[in-house]
Chains A and B, each alone.
Chain A
Amino acid sequence: MIAEPSAIGGVLLVALPALLGAGALRIAGVRFGSDRLAFVAWTWPAGAFALALIELACLLLGIAPRHWLAVVAAVAVAVGAVAWRTRVAAPDAATPPPRKRRWDDVGSWCVVLLGVFATALAALAGAAEPCVIGDEGTLWAMKARAFSHDWFAGDFVRAQGLSTHADYPPLNPLLQAWTHALAGGFTLFANRVPIQLCTLSLWLATATALRRRCPGWLAGLLLLVLLLDPFWHASCLCAEADTMVALGLVLGCDGWLRSRAHDERGHRAVAALGLAFALWSKNEATLYFASACIAAGLVAIATRTRAAAPAAKRRWPFWLALPLGVVAWQWGWNRWFHFQNDLAGGNPLGKSFGELFAAQFADRIGPVLGEGACLLVRWDRAHGVLLLVLLALLLWPRVALARPLGIVTLALLGAVLGTHLVYVGSWLELRYHLTTSHARVLFQLVPVSLVWFAAVHRGDQERRLSSNDSAAGGRPVDSRSSSLGARP
């Protein structure tokens, strides 16, 4: 049953989802010419998400993995044909023209290429070891086998029951199952490729989001902070889902900020894709999404007495239907199969999170916050950027809380604090749980925090410009219409 895809299979493994992604982005209204690096970065997650949806449909229809290649190829060709005939809207007047090349752009491009090289090299090095142990082997790869084999053998629920996290979302395993379909058996090496491409996409997506808001040299520095973190190297080697969550968050934040700046349909689609991608990758994203919803509610309440927003920005956010749909689907999926999260009561103690939280709060809150504080000031980690999120309300309240960035700021604050509270109510032994997951899980928030920081910088610049305009007798710029998604 062990097999690896042939050379042609390897090409199809990447090419078909990439074609799906590029077509889906074009249909959604994303223009290649407006930001080429962004389009390249967003292509793989868009294609991977579409691929997983097709595989899920195949599973529900009882189509065996040996037929998936034909189904995916047919859909990819259809999407490509529709995309080819789709007339993408011309850029609106507010969209700034591409900026001219400057000396610091050369530096930032060098860092981007260095990161691509380092990520690809580490991914290749990962293929020296089979994917058989750790979470990637025992959890994610085995879940993928459950989709490729147990589902059709009528043994899915029992096999998932042997997994430690049967309730985890299936995007990562579905992408690995794609390699099984192409290889005609279970893969030990190629199954990492779709996940490693998500890590590469995360690098490119972060790079384009930073370059859009920072001078090139600052974007390069912030990217180096990410690249030199040991977790980056570790995540390039394996097939775990943490970078998938980070990728979804960066897409969600960047796409949403761009859509607020220029009201483009394509960017709202990217934001929806990003949030849905994160939510379908791992359960932590549900906490982050809830935090973002609460943050949006707080900002809406705080600004309800202000002048009404422009009509274009008062629309009901229909793009949220995709991430909300993923949440509803995953909830229904787990209910249908009786999968329960271990933190929500599906644990050997049989106690709910609330019960454990109340019982353990006094003992655990100190050590948990202490661990968090130590992590945020460690020089060998990039987590220090999260410290800036915590300090933003004191350091830059006017910029960090200005609309729309205030929602991101509060969402990140809630995500950081909420993640720590999970450890207080965890059924696992505290030291073990912190050692095995704390820094890794918080690393999911590092790339999007770098993007947030770049947006704060951008907001700061705009605010100073508007102050200068006011001092010179010009009309002050409304912070709601700031172009946080725009090039400087």
Chain B
Amino acid sequence: MFALPTMPVRWTFPTAAGIAVLWLGCRLASLPQALSARSGVWSRAEIALTKPREWRVFANTGISPEEVAALGVLGQDGRLIAYGDLGRVPEAQRDYAELLLDMQHHRLRSLLYPNPSDTRRANSPDELRAMVGQPCAGEVVVADLSQTGEPLPVDQFTLLHEQRHDGILVRYWRRSTPR
């Protein structure tokens, strides 16, 4: 079709075989490592077959059925804010803390949606105040992951539920006078 230089095409077959064998040889050499990395697949399959849904959710998200029940106060028109004061986290751990906060936000959102459909993440007291201050027709609940044990830096919130899992303390605050 194109006037390009012709090279011996008879090498296609040995080339394919050679590359595949070489590749597989390298892969098989590291097979013990690869298998150990995937060894969890059996135990995970066993968990999937034997453990109930609530157990698997709690084991992977750290969110217990009691927490989900407590957050039942939130309706579709409510708002859930995952809060952590990242400014008070040591610099070296801040990225990890932000990742944890973000993951917890998404886990809560996935488990609760659409009650509420409005979920947010606040990384500082100022962001939290701004989010709390915005109009909301329903309840506002703050999932406090700041780990300080101090009261929430906004007024009118009372403790709804407290949960500790794998050393992480999560306190849920509910606005005592819904607007």
Chain A contacts to B: CB under 8 angstroms:
1-2, 4, 121-122, 124-133, 137-138, 141-142, 145, 149-150, 153, 155, 159, 186, 188-189, 218, 221-222, 224-225, 228, 230, 233, 299, 302-303, 379-380, 382, 384, 388, 393-399, 401-403, 406, 453, 456-457, 460-461, 463-464, 479
Contact = CB atoms under 8 A, between A and B. Distances in A.
Interface in B50-71: 51, 53, 56-57, 60-61
A233 B38 contact: yes
A128 B17 contact: no
18 contacts: A1-B114, A121-B41, A121-B42, A126-B44, A129-B56, A130-B56, A131-B110, A138-B106, A155-B117, A159-B117, A188-B110, A189-B56, A218-B13, A233-B41, A379-B27, A382-B23, A388-B19, A457-B12
Nearest to B38: A233
Contact of A406 (B1, B5, B107): B1
B53 to A, nearest CB: 6
B134 to A, nearest CB: 15
B20 interface: yes
B12 A128 contact: no
B27 A228 contact: yes
B36 interface: no
A302 to B, nearest CB: 6
Given A133-B103, A149-B114, A394-B7, A124 B1 contact: no
Contact of B45 (A128, A131, A394): A128
Given A225-B20, A233-B38, A401-B1, 7 more contacts: A129-B60, A137-B110, A222-B16, A394-B7, A396-B7, A398-B9, A399-B9
Interface residues of B, number: 49
Contacts of A299: 1
Interface of B is mostly: helix
B20 A218 contact: yes
Given A2-B111, A137-B106, A132 B1 contact: no
For the complex of A and B, list the 7 residue pairs with the smallest distance between their C-beta atoms, beginning with the closest. Answer: A127-B48, A132-B110, A125-B44, A128-B44, A221-B20, A460-B12, A397-B4
A461 B27 CA distance: 29
A221 B13 contact: no
B130 interface: no
Instruction: Select the residue from A228, A403, A461 with max chain B CB neighbours within 10 A.
Output: A228
A302 B2 contact: yes
Interface string B1-34: 1101111011111011101110110110010001
Contacts, number: 150
B23 A460 contact: no
Contact of B12 (A4, A221, A380, A396): A396
Contacts of A132: 60-61, 106-107, 110-111
Nearest to A454: B16
A188 B114 contact: no
A386 B47 CA distance: 38
A119 to B, nearest CB: 11
Contacts of A2: 53, 111
A105 B42 CA distance: 29
Contacts of B76: 153
Nearest to B118: A162
A1 B6 CA distance: 64
Contacts of B158: none
B40 to A, nearest CB: 7
Given A1-B114, A189-B53, A395 B34 contact: no
B30 A380 contact: yes
Contacts of A141: 110
Instruction: Select the residue from B20, B21, B27, B30 with max chain A CB neighbours within 10 A.
Output: B20
A379 B1 contact: no
A309 to B, nearest CB: 13
Instruction: Select the residue from B5, B11, B53 with max chain A CB neighbours within 10 A.
Output: B53
Contacts of A228: 24, 27, 34
Contacts of B23: 225, 379, 382, 384
B115 interface: yes
B114 A124 contact: no
B113 interface: yes
B14 to A, nearest CB: 10
A28 B76 CA distance: 45
A128 B9 CA distance: 49
B49 interface: yes
Contacts of A125: 40-42, 44-45, 48
B90 to A, nearest CB: 23
Nearest to B76: A153
Contacts of A149: 114
B27 to A, nearest CB: 5
B106 A398 contact: no
B158 to A, nearest CB: 26
Given A188-B57, A384-B23, A218 B1 contact: no
A411 to B, nearest CB: 15
B27 A393 contact: no
A186 B9 contact: no
A222 B107 CA distance: 39
B166 to A, nearest CB: 16
B9 A463 contact: yes
A177 B162 CA distance: 34
B45 A124 contact: yes
Contacts of B16: 218, 222, 453, 457
Contacts of B53: 2, 4, 188-189
Interface string B88-120: 000000000000000100110111011101000
Contacts of A221: 17, 20-21, 24
A316 B146 CA distance: 65
Nearest to B63: A132
A474 B17 CA distance: 30
